[in-house]
Structure 1
Amino acid sequence: MDTEPFDMEALADELHAIVPGFSGLHAIEKFNTGQSNPTYRVEADSGRYVLRAKPPGTLLKSAHQVDREYRVMKALAENNVPVPKVFALAPEDSAIGRMYFVMELVEGRIFWDPALPGMTPEERASVYDGMNDVLSRLHSVDPEAAGLADFGRSGNYFARQIRRWSEQYLASKTEDLPDMDRLMDWLLDNMATDDGLVRVVHGDFRLDNMIFSAHGEKVLALIDWELSTLGHPLADLAYQCMQWRLPHASGFRGLGGLDRADLGIPSEEEYVARYAERTGIAVSNWSFCLAFSFFRLAAILQGVYKRSLDGNASNPERAREIGKAVPLLASMANDVIAGKA
């Protein structure tokens, strides 16, 4: 972790004022992992907390809205979805000069390698079933009943997202990538029909955005809600299933090239079928959903890469590395739509 040059006295006064029961700020240190919103461990007499803030510098429109993260986590905590408890939201003119929120520090394990080395096949199967269960629980929440009816726009979710991420990709573009151009055109020409199904979608649903209990038997918290909105649940499912296709021997830490059956990890088909059984949601237009997910991730990573060049990335070295992955993602998406994967 890195120490941030905050005005500790001002921050301590502010946290005491807005966080119930807060007292005695000792230290605040930045977690080195993560690329979206800078996240910090807060040590105090009253306990340990997590502070999540907007990044410094000029930001892309509609990005890094920590107030949305705060809102959705607060609502889902009351609807059988495991999320950290949130305590307070600070405004843009906060003691650190940026909007931030404070939540509980959930102690547990984060698995960075989806192959789950050191585990038995039965333990790996339990981890993957736990992820499937949490995604199913999230997509079983009625947004209106949870007070989130206005958490996203109405209309075709895929159309909105393709438009949004095309704009953000073009705004952060650093070189010409014909595969990305072809992919954007194909998605627009093969748009999935709006079936009216709307749920809260996490937007970055993957293994390392979950905190597990000691042996992986239970998901304690689903974290990093920056990209959450109202949308089509199959977008979350397809996004996670990219992991089955991405290469393991890469920064993506995918499952591609591994003997998943030997490891005890379900196949993509088995994982999708279990989700459909739990939620009652029919899985259709799968190639479109996958291609959309590859495109969206490529656009996100292009933004991370551009921020690294501008000096605003949360983890500059890692940002430059994953920025180079954009051509691979675009190529893999083109393979999906060509029926090669």
Structure 2
Amino acid sequence: MEARTGAGMSGQGDPAAANSGTTPVREGYAIDEAALAAWLSDNVEGYAGPLTIEQFKGGQSNPTYKLITPGASYVLRKKPTGQLLKGAHAVEREARVLSALHGTGFPVARVYGMCTDDSVIGTWFFVMEMVEGRIFWDATVPGVSNAERAALFDAMNATIARLHSVDYQAAGLGDYGKPGNYFARQVNRWSQQYFADEAAGRDPNMNRLIDWLQANLPQDDDTASVIHGDFRIDNMIFHPSEPRVLAVLDWELSTLGHPGADFAYHAMMYRMPPHIVAGLYGADIAGLGIPDEAAYLAAYCRRTGRDAMPGYDYYMAFNFFRLAAIFHGIKGRVASGTAASAQAARRVEVLPELMEIAWQQAVRAGA
């Protein structure tokens, strides 16, 4: 199921129903089957038609298709049609990081080929293997035993620790991003976006959080690794019957960055109320067999050779700030009439609470 993509963090509705599985190719998304089949024959080892194409429900940012043949199924990810923002929808970056990480043995889908010829199906695309397994949409992982739930969390922990331990230079990813000054650059970027969006207004918690983040940049800001950018439980495919990660999905936000920031984004689930986005805050994690936040952090530190993570609460405050800045941008689009969905309205409704929680992370870190 390597293709349930682009859903974002969800705290409302039924994301599994909305984003799992396939449908017939939707109107406006059709691709030239004959041209694609010819390209597959020339570029994908072992390909043999006839070819049937379906479209995954998820993957709205980069349209994603299931390619079905008698002997195998594949996944195709393509740029959308039309005028695109520079640097957006960079399927070639996804293909590159997937190929590099697959070469290290990290659990990702194998990429079979990348096409940069617009004449084939209209836009650039790549084809990768179809990984079958389980996707868990709820961080409390209902429907499994406590022992398996604990093992699933340990598998996630081991996987993100393994990612941050990849030698990105040896993997050919030395120019995949800008290593160093990660927090300085990110805080500046999201602060500028927040202040530029006057239609969304201002919030005192956000204002003082920005000041605090800028005044307390971590001393280890030059630390760098490959980071995923959106590492969470529903971006992983687990083995059908074992607590083992078969593939990490959705690499659109990946780059070279600070591993502590990436881990803290993942661990936000412990401090996140589920009505804002999917989270564990308020859940009986001990009763569910889920390790507590301190134990989960300690396991990651042990696996990555750290004695501790002194900047952890800063990293957490930064991630809540970043999410609040994203929601603030949604509020601006709602105010200007360019975002009218029910999900956008819910983001605006919870924004003051999210900004308060974000500031509380800074208080926890000593603000």
TM-score by length of 2: 0.81
Q: Does 1:5 align with 2:30?
A: yes
**Paired position in structure 1 for 2:89:** 64
**Paired position in structure 1 for 2:110:** 85
Q: 2:172 aligns with which of 138, 147, 150?
A: 147
Q: Which segments of 5 or more consecutive residues in structure 2 lack a partner in the other structure?
A: 1-21
Q: Indicate if the aligned counterparts of 2:182 and 2:221 stay in contact, CA closer than 8 A.
A: no
**Paired position in structure 2 for 1:261:** 286
Q: Indicate if the aligned counterparts of 2:183 and 2:221 stay in contact, CA closer than 8 A.
A: no
Q: Does 1:247 align with 2:273?
A: yes
The residue type paired with residue 222 of structure 2 is G
What is the root-mean-square deviation of aligned Cα atoms in Å?
Answer: 3.0
Q: Does 1:237 align with 2:269?
A: no
1:1-341 alignment to 2 at 5 Å? 1-2=22-23, 3=25, 4-24=29-49, 26-34=51-59, 36-91=61-116, 93-167=118-192, 175-178=200-203, 179-194=205-220, 196-248=222-274, 250=275, 252-281=277-306, 282-300=308-326, 321-322=346-347, 325-339=350-364
Q: Cα distance, 1:148 vs. partner?
A: 1.1
Cα distance in 1 between the residues matched to 2:284 and 2:71:
47
Q: Indicate if the aligned counterparts of 2:110 and 2:128 stay in contact, CA closer than 8 A.
A: yes
Q: Tell me, what secondary structure is at the counterpart of 1:193? A: coil
The residue type paired with residue 255 of structure 1 is L
Residues 5, 130 of structure 1: alpha-carbon distance in 2 compared, 3 angstrom cutoff: same
The residue type paired with residue 272 of structure 1 is L
Q: Tell me, what secondary structure is at the counterpart of 1:28? A: strand
Cα distance in 2 between the residues matched to 1:139 and 1:132:
11
Cα distance in 2 between the residues matched to 1:47 and 1:328:
47
Residues 172, 147 of structure 1: alpha-carbon distance in 2 compared, 3 angstrom cutoff: farther
Q: Tell me, what secondary structure is at the counterpart of 2:157? A: helix
Q: Indicate if the aligned counterparts of 2:51 and 2:68 stay in contact, CA closer than 8 A.
A: yes
Q: Cα distance, 1:172 vs. partner?
A: 7.4
Cα distance in 1 between the residues matched to 2:60 and 2:124:
17
Deviation per CA, 1:144-167: give whole Å up to 9, x if none: 111111111133111222234445
The residue type paired with residue 89 of structure 1 is M
Q: Indicate if the aligned counterparts of 1:202 and 1:229 stay in contact, CA closer than 8 A.
A: yes
Q: Indicate if the aligned counterparts of 1:60 and 1:168 stay in contact, CA closer than 8 A.
A: no
Q: Which segments of 5 or more consecutive residues in structure 1 lack a partner in the other structure?
A: none
8-17 or 252-261, which moves further after superposition?
Answer: 8-17
Q: Indicate if the aligned counterparts of 1:35 and 1:304 stay in contact, CA closer than 8 A.
A: no
322-331 or 227-236, which moves further after superposition?
Answer: 322-331
Q: Tell me, what secondary structure is at the counterpart of 2:260? A: helix
Cα distance in 2 between the residues matched to 1:54 and 1:192:
37
Q: Cα distance, 1:247 vs. partner?
A: 1.4
Residues 86, 153 of structure 1: alpha-carbon distance in 2 compared, 3 angstrom cutoff: same
Q: Tell me, what secondary structure is at the counterpart of 2:294? A: helix
Structure exhibiting the larger radius of gyration computed from Cα positions: 2
173-182 or 6-15, which moves further after superposition?
Answer: 173-182
The residue type paired with residue 336 of structure 1 is Q
Residues 290, 251 of structure 1: alpha-carbon distance in 2 compared, 3 angstrom cutoff: closer
63-72 or 52-61, which moves further after superposition?
Answer: 52-61
Q: Indicate if the aligned counterparts of 2:200 and 2:328 stay in contact, CA closer than 8 A.
A: no
10-19 or 171-180, which moves further after superposition?
Answer: 171-180
Deviation per CA, 1:153-209: give whole Å up to 9, x if none: 133111222234445566778622424444333322222223532211111111001
Q: Tell me, what secondary structure is at the counterpart of 2:120? A: coil
19-28 or 71-80, which moves further after superposition?
Answer: 19-28
Q: Cα distance, 1:332 vs. partner?
A: 1.7
Q: Tell me, what secondary structure is at the counterpart of 1:78? A: helix
Deviation per CA, 1:95-126: give whole Å up to 9, x if none: 34332221111000000011111111111100
TM-score by length of 1: 0.87
Cα distance in 2 between the residues matched to 1:107 and 1:50:
11
Q: Cα distance, 1:135 vs. partner?
A: 0.8
